[in-house]
Structure 1
Amino acid sequence: MSERDDGAWFAPKRFGYGAGLPIAWQGWALLAGYIVVMLAPTPLLEWDPILGTGIAAAVWMFATALVLVVAQRKTRGGWRLRIGERD
């Protein structure tokens, strides 16, 4: 299987731990969807500051956890600490 056909959506970071930039359209779509979901609860904050903050925080935490899990599973080579080496 070639490097392009490995099903990865994200490149590994060259330095540090985690995922780098998206390398497939699915990764870019996930990132765009995440941004939309992070902005979506803002009207709730104006509607009811107390209840809206709780709902918004729950949505934000769930969305962040979901993106982290998907990014970890779809990063070429997985997540590990890298100190400059190339995969």
Structure 2
Amino acid sequence: MTERKEDGWFYAKRYGYGTGLPRTWQGWLVTALFIALILIGAAFIAPLSQLAFIAYVIPLTLAFLVIAAKTTSGGWKWRWGKDREGGTW
């Protein structure tokens, strides 16, 4: 079975392109985990080497963006402020 786009983890943005706020516990968990991993890296990796921290942050950010893109209600597309697909918040 495939997951319906209306049941995504994140709301679609009303204006522009991309993801809005999380709408399910899974979305909030992914967001909290992403933020926690960035903060852990900032505390332990950044003081040692800024280049290592950048190399740590880039894959984390790309993984978060892929997850958000695949689980956004209505998908990622340009929106001009009409009603949001997948509900409102």
- Pair in the same fold by TM > 0.5: yes
Identity of aligned residues (%): 36
**2:14, 2:80 within 8 Å by CA — same for their partners in 1?**
yes
How far is 1:37 from its partner? 1.0
Q: Quick one: structure 1 residues 5 and 44, their matched pair in 2 at CA, closer, same or farther if it must change by over 3 Å?
A: closer
Q: Which has the higher contact order (CA 8 A, sep 6+)?
A: 2
RMSD: 1.8
Q: Quick one: structure 1 residues 73 and 82, their matched pair in 2 at CA, closer, same or farther if it must change by over 3 Å?
A: same
- Counterpart residue identity of residue 55, structure 2: A
Please, which runs of 5 or more residues in structure 2 have no aligned partner? none
TM-score by length of 2: 0.81
Larger Rg: 1
Aligned length: 80
- Counterpart residue identity of residue 65, structure 1: L
Deviating beyond 4 angstroms after TM superposition, the runs of 4 or more aligned structure 1 residues are: none
Post-superposition CA distance 1:15-74 (Å, at most 9, x none): 11001100000000011001011111222233x3xxx22221111000100000000000
Structure with bigger helix share is: 1
TM-score by length of 1: 0.82
